[in-house]
Structure 1
C-alpha cells in the first residue's frame, strides 16, 4: 500500500510554499489563486469556494449550481437559501449560505476525505482500534507485556541492591556501593533501551495499520510487519536524533549557569529550555509518519514535518495536548487503583518498616499489580496516540497537498478526481 500513489510526495511540494493559496482553507490561508494549468487540479465533484460574509452584507445573486450526488466529493457549497441575518443579509458559511453542518465527503475508511476537525481525528483513531482490534491490540499487548516484565525484574533487583548498598547499618564500603550503583544504572539503561525498541516497533506497525484503515483496507500483523520492517532502522535513528537534540538543547541553555556557578542563571536556562523543547517536539511531531509512509530518510522526514506543521503549530499543539490529557486520564484510572492495592499488600506483609526502607513498594505484589495496570493502559492508549499522529499527518497533507484526491484513487473510488473532469479524447 505504501507504494501506491496515495502517499507519494508531490513534485514541487505545496508545503514548501510553492502551492498557491486556496480560498477554501485547505492550506490554512484565505484568498489566493487557483492552481496553474497543468498543475494539481481539484476533483470535478469539488464545489467552488465558499464565501464568508458578515451578517447584514448583501450578496450578489449566484447562478444555479448542479447538486452533486449524495456522498460525492465535499458536497455543494452553494445550497438553498438559508435564514436571514439580523439586517436582512445572509450568513455565509462553508456549507452554503445559511447552512449549518459539514458538507458530505467520501469516506472509504475511518475518516472522511476532507480536512478533519478534532472530533474526527479522535474518532478515526478509536474507530481503527475498534474495527481492526484483532491486529492493533495484539501488537500493543505483546510490546507492553515484554516491556513491563523486564521493567518489573529491573525494579525488583536493582532497587533491592540500592537499598542494601545504602543501608547505614550494613558493612558495605564505598567500592561496593559504587558497584551497586553502576550495576543499577546499567540495568536501568538496558530497560530504557528495551522500552525504546518496543515503542518504535509498535509505532511503526501501527502507522501502517492506520494508513491502510484510512483507505478502508484491513491489515494483518504479518503485513504490517513486512511493510514497517524496512524503515525500522531509520525510525530508530530518527528517535535517537530527536532525543540527542533535546539533550543538547538543555545542556546548551544550562551551560552558562554551570560555568559561572550560578544557580539562578542555570534555573533561567532550564525554564527557557522547556518551551523550546515543546516547540521543537511539535515541529517534528509528524516526522515519524512521514518517514514510514513516504519511505524517506531521517533528514527528509524532519524537513517534511517542519513544512507540514508550519502555520498550524497551535492547532497541532492543542490536539496533541488534549490527546495526551485523555490518555493520561485513562492510564491513571487503570494504574492507580492496582498500584494502591499492591502497596496495601506490601504494607500488610512488611508493616510500616517496609514503608520506611522502601521495600513495601519493591515487593512482588505491588510491582506485578502495577505492571498489570500499565500493560492494560498501554494496550489501550498506545494505539490512540499513534493514530492521532498519523491522522494529523494525513489531515495536514489534505489541507496543503490535496492528498484526498490521491487517497480516493488509491481506495478505488469511482468518479473522484481530476480525471473525471477531463473531456474524452478521440482515438
Structure 2
C-alpha cells in the first residue's frame, strides 16, 4: 500500500468479500508504522503495509474506539458526539485554526465598516425621487457584501479541507498539528476551492431554473394568476431541487481530500455515497444547521449586546468603532466553534456511509491493530 491515500480509496469488494479474504500469515505481516506519524498508515507518504493482528481474522468487526468514534456504523447521537469530541481532542488544530480563518474573513468587513460606516439598505422611497441614485446606492451596498461573502466562502472551504484531514487522524486516535494538516492538503486546495464554487453555482442554477417558467409567462404576457402560480410552483421546485443537490454533494470535500478523487469525479462519488440514505443524511445535516445557528447566536449574543451598550445610537444601526470590533470578535468566536463542528459532522457522515456500504471500519480496525 504505497499510494498516498490508499486506505481512503474505495474498495470494490463487498464487506462480506473482505471478511472472507485469506488471512495473512504472521510471518508475512509487516510491522506497524510508528504511532506518531502524521497520516493514517494506508496513505502515509513513506508507505507501509498493514495486516491484521496476529491470530485475528481480517474481517473481525468488534467495536473498538481508538479515537472520537467507535469503528462501526454510527447513530445520529454518535455523529454529533463525535464532532464534539473531535473539537475537544485537538482544540489547537480545530478551534485555533478556525479562529484564525474566521478572523481573516472578518477583517475586510470590519475595516470597511470602520472606514465607511455600517452599510444600510437605501430607503425605497428614494427610488421615486432619483432612481439612478437609488440604484447606485444599492450597488454600492451589494458589492462589498458579495466580496466579503466570497472571501468568507473561500477561506471556509479551505478550512474545511484542513479540518477533514485532522478528523481522519482523530478517528484513529491520533493528533495532527496545523503544519502537518497544511502539508497534507495544500496540493488539493485549488481543486477544493474549485469544486466548492462549482457546487454553489450548480445549486444556484437549479434555484434559477425553477423561476424560468414564471419569467417565460411574463414575457408572453400571461395573466397575473398564471404568473403567480408558476412563480410559486417554480420557487418550491427550485428549492427542492437545490436541497436535493446540496445534500447529494455534501461529501465532495471528504471524497476530494481523503480519496484524492478527481474534481468532477468527487461529485459522483459523493452522490453514490449519499443516495442510499439520502433522507438520513438530510436529517443529520438539517439538525446540524439548526444547532449551529443556535450555538452561533448564543456565542455572539454577549458581544452584540456589549456592542449596542457602547454605541451612542444603536437603534439607527450605526455602531461605534468599539461596537464594530466587539461584533466582529463575537463572529470570530462563534465561527471558531461552529465551523469545526460542522466540518466534523460532515466528515463523520462520510466515514459512516463508507463503513455502512464499503466496510471501511474493517480497514480502520486493522490500521489501529484492532
TM-score class, shorter: 0.7 to 0.9
Map 1:308-319 onto structure 2 (within 5 A).
308-319=273-284
Find the counterpart in structure 2 of residue 132 from structure 1. 90
CA contact (8 A) 2:97 2:178 kept: yes
1:46-73 deviations in Å (ceiling 9; x for gaps)? xxxxxxxxxxxxxxxxxxxxxx99xx95
1:176-229 deviations in Å (ceiling 9; x for gaps)? 655554444332222122101210121011011001111122111111011111
1:333-392 deviations in Å (ceiling 9; x for gaps)? 12233223323433xx13xxx63xx4x334424432222211111111111110011011
Larger helix percent: 2
Consecutive unaligned residues of structure 2, counting only runs of 5 or more, are 24-54, 219-226
Find the counterpart in structure 2 of residue 116 from structure 1. 74
Find the counterpart in structure 2 of residue 9 from structure 1. 10
Task: Identify if the C-alpha distance between structure 1 residues 110 and 254 changes in structure 2 by more than 3 Å, giving closer, same or farther.
Answer: same
Map 1:47-126 onto structure 2 (within 5 A).
73-75=60-62, 105-126=63-84
Task: Identify if the C-alpha distance between structure 1 residues 251 and 161 changes in structure 2 by more than 3 Å, giving closer, same or farther.
Answer: closer
CA contact (8 A) 2:6 2:259 kept: no
Question: Which of these two proteins has the greater Rg computed from alpha carbons?
Answer: 1
Task: Identify if the C-alpha distance between structure 1 residues 44 and 386 changes in structure 2 by more than 3 Å, giving closer, same or farther.
Answer: farther
Task: Identify if the C-alpha distance between structure 1 residues 274 and 174 changes in structure 2 by more than 3 Å, giving closer, same or farther.
Answer: closer
CA distance, structure 1, for counterparts of residue 240 and residue 343 of structure 2 = 23
Map 1:279-290 onto structure 2 (within 5 A).
279-290=244-255
CA distance, structure 2, for counterparts of residue 73 and residue 167 of structure 1 = 67
CA distance, structure 1, for counterparts of residue 318 and residue 277 of structure 2 = 44
* Cα RMSD, aligned residues only: 3.0
CA distance, structure 2, for counterparts of residue 252 and residue 335 of structure 1 = 36
CA contact (8 A) 1:113 1:408 kept: yes
TM-score, reference length from structure 2: 0.79
Map 1:172-321 onto structure 2 (within 5 A).
178-261=135-218, 262-321=227-286
CA contact (8 A) 1:339 1:369 kept: yes
CA distance, structure 1, for counterparts of residue 113 and residue 238 of structure 2 = 30
